[in-house]
Amino acid sequence: MNDQHWGPSISADIVVIGGGTAGIGFVASLLKRDPHLNVTVIEPSSQHFYQPAWTLVGGGAFDVKDTVRPMSKVMPRQATWIQASVSAIDPDKRQLTLNDQRTIGYQNLIVCPGLRLAWEKIEGLQESLGQHGVTSNYSYQHAEYTWDQVQKLRDGRALFTQPAMPIKCAGAPQKALYLSCDHWRRSAVLHNINVEFNLAGAALFGVATFVPPLMKYIEKYNAQLAFNSNLVKVDGPAKTAWFEVKDTDGNVSRIAKTFDLLHVVPPQVSPDFIAQSPLADTAGWCEVDPHSLQHLRYPEVFALGDICGTSNAKTAAAVRKQVVVVAQNLLALRKQQLLPLKYDGYGSCPLTVEKGKVILAEFGYGGKLLPTFALDPTVPRRSAWWLKATLLPWFYWNGMLKGREWLTRVSKVD
């Protein structure tokens, strides 16, 4: 249902901000539990993207056209879709303001607008992206350009970057490096290419268990690691990138590096209407209990997905379990019952270390390993590649967005 009949002021029951993975997945799960609920979704985009496959697109292993569908095709039929964006939230009044100045009152609010890619925080990037060898798998428009440039590069210097955390899919910046290097190795040109990974942080991966097997691939591809090196400026025509590099004493210097290929991961921030609202924590993310996903100060509000001010990995796999927790807990709250489920911080990073092999990193809060399968999770496997490249995309469109809760075992509150 569209929003053509709405007037300037709207009174709604359950309002969901966001029609991405978290929003559509949650609404589908909630309506499967109770199809009579009155649910309104606020989402400005006319398209819905399966972003986890963009890394594969950049590695020549997936068709970018298969990562997008019309929003109208994935929006649950029982929900009302308002195609607009939120400009302000007043949780004390239980009211939202839209970009067209309409207001919406709500009984319950589910916050899942995702995060914002802050391309503008890197000087010169927006002018250079998609040309001069400057690309990013974090963009639907440019993932194909990554593969185009990888295929064309026969010698020279390839720079890959990773900004400060938090970002969505923390493994994606290095997946771009691995798939590129694997192609160059198979094409017998890797020895002609100087590969460097510039990370704003001080570790290759946030869960120490997975660092040794990943380091084997860094060494296999003869890639250099530059820690505490944050991309701040790009000049595409000059093929030069500038990094702010922090030494062991905390001193920061700016270093210029030339490139033939530059794969950029942009800084990522909370949308302004969340960061500037009473729902935000000190860092601008939506402040929720890490286990119930209920807001700490506004009990009628829940959040899930990338917007959460929780320490879990921001991945679609995390959302898969969060939708169950929030759907069950919301229904319990509306019946004035105790919230029954708790989220353990589960997230998954299928690390595509070469074409045809994946290290399936699954973990929860505190880096606790939470493997789905009874296999050593540090071993690269072809079965995990099949899961990443074939099964999960199919299940996303045909299962997760339709309320089918596969591999979503969650804990009950003690």
Tell me phi and psi for residue 170, to 5 degrees. Answer: -60, -15
**pLDDT confidence tier of residue 353, bands split at 50, 70 and 90:** very high
CA distance to 54, 186, 228, 237, 349, per residue, from 127 (Å) = 21, 33, 25, 10, 31
Average pLDDT over residues 361-375: 94
Spatial separation of the C-alpha atoms in residues 35 and 190, rounded to whole Å: 55
| Over residues 279-284, mean pLDDT | 97
pLDDT tens digits for range 308-321: 999 999 999 999 99
How confident is the model over 176-183, as a mean pLDDT?
98
Is the pLDDT assigned to residue 5 strictly greater than 50?
Answer: no
Q: What percent of the chain has pLDDT over 90?
A: 93
Measured between alpha carbons, how far apart are the two ends of the chain, in Å? 40
d(CA 304, CA 29): 13
Predicted local distance difference test score (pLDDT) of residue 10: 83
Among the options 112, 181, 286, 349, which is catalytic?
349
- Residue 408 confidence (pLDDT): 62
Question: CA–CA separation, 270 vs 136, rounded Å?
Answer: 20
Residue 4: which pLDDT band, with cuts at 50, 70 and 90?
A: very low
Q: % helix / strand / coil in the chain, to the nearest 5?
A: 30, 30, 40
Segment 64-95, tens digit of pLDDT: 999 999 999 999 999 999 999 999 999 999 99
Average pLDDT over residues 206-228: 97
Considering the candidates 112, 169, 286, 308, report the single residue annotated as catalytic: 169
Q: Is residue 169 flagged as an active site residue?
A: yes
Position 117 pLDDT exceeds 70: yes
- Report residue 2's pLDDT band, with 50, 70 and 90 as the boundaries: low
Question: What are the E-state strand segments in 252-386?
Answer: 252-258, 261-263, 268-269, 301-303, 341-342, 347-354, 357-363
Under 8 Å CB-to-CB from 351, ≥6 apart: which residues? Answer: 171, 174, 175, 178, 210, 214, 358, 359, 360, 361
Q: DSSP string covering 11-44, please?
A: E-SEEEE--SHHHHHHHHHHHHH-TT--EEEE--
